[in-house]
Amino acid sequence: MEKDPDIISIAEYYQKYSNLAIIDVRSPGEFTKGHIPGATNIPLFSDAERAKVGTAYVRQSKEIAMNIGLKIVKPKLEYFIEESEKVAPSGEVVVHCWRGGMRSQSFARHLSENGFHSIRVIEGGYKSFRNYVLHFFEYPFKLTILGGYTGSGKTMILKYLQEQSLQVVDLEGVAHHRGSAFGGIEMGKQPTGEQFENNLFEEMRHLDQNATIWMEDESHHIGSVFIPLGLFKQIEKSEVYFLDIKKEKRAEYLVQEYAGLDKKELALSIRKITKRLGYDRAKKALEYLENNNFYEVAITALTYYDKYYLGGLSLRKSGSVHRLECNEVDTQKNARILLMTASYE
């Protein structure tokens, strides 16, 4: 027996139904720009088809646009069922489109007519999800920030803290970028700015909001993506534990991290910061790279990055930065110093 789909809010979805399969019926282009993590895209229209229907709606009428849409969809009806059964073989599924309108409603009805027994449509669709995400980052979090000049091994320390069952969010991991001009090398393609926020939300929603969450000190942007403003403002106001390690030790660490990477990519990254580094220093760094003198490349680059990071650190509220003198880049040793200091304070 056919049953009308239940309309649920995005809050209800996360409270009760996030364990269910979710189908996003928007076009592939919409899905690529940003989607609910875990959703499967079964598009009602291709990008070109969506544009055709939209143009008819604007330039002609709603009725003509609907007729065009029906002609496009009709040959795909069996395919929709086949793909939906792969995603939700139990017959229980959540569906959404952009605003919870015609696309998701018609798709849900089609599923109901073809054996799916429990279908829920998200009210307001993906748009309501995006509002939910941005509102989430306005919540007050208990953040503790790990700082340190480039090459301090901060990411490895965060990983160690996570292994000790502490709550950690690796912003650079979610962004697929290490944060510097060299940060995108061999990190894969970055998500869109919108999808970065969605993925970050998915990671953080599982955390205990009343317990401490560790993050690395970052500028507002990480490569091409931006930390949500609500969260970034909280990062700026949080306590920072700054690993103070000599440049020479950090350069040695960076050689281990970057020396095996593609030299062409490294050279391109040096050229990206030529203006900031200074023409003469950049030229020298490229010569060092050509001669496989990775240590001097690192020392030269740190001249810029240390100055840049120190400038950002100086803007923080007085007394919120706690310097930890560390003799070397040693993950476990520095993590113990960090935890001892943070616990004491």
Q: Catalytic one among 8, 22, 56, 97?
A: 97
Q: Which two tokens stand for residue 198?
A: 């969605």
What is the distance of C-alpha 8 from the center of its chain?
26
Cβ pair 84, 116 in contact under 8 A? yes
Determine phi and psi for 148, rounding to 5 degrees.
155, 150
Helix, strand or coil, per DSSP, at residue 80:
helix
Neighbouring residues of 75: CB distance < 8 A, sequence distance ≥ 6: none
The yes-or-no answer on residue 326 being catalytic is no
Residue 108 to residues 103, 195, 243: CA-CA distances in angstroms? Answer: 9, 25, 54
Q: 93 pairs with which residues across the strands?
A: 21, 119
For the beta sheet containing 239-244, the strands, ordered from the edge strand earlier in sequence to the opposite edge, are 167-169, 213-216, 143-148, 239-244, 321-325
Cβ atoms of 47 and 31 closer than 8 Å: no
Hey, which residues are catalytic here? 97
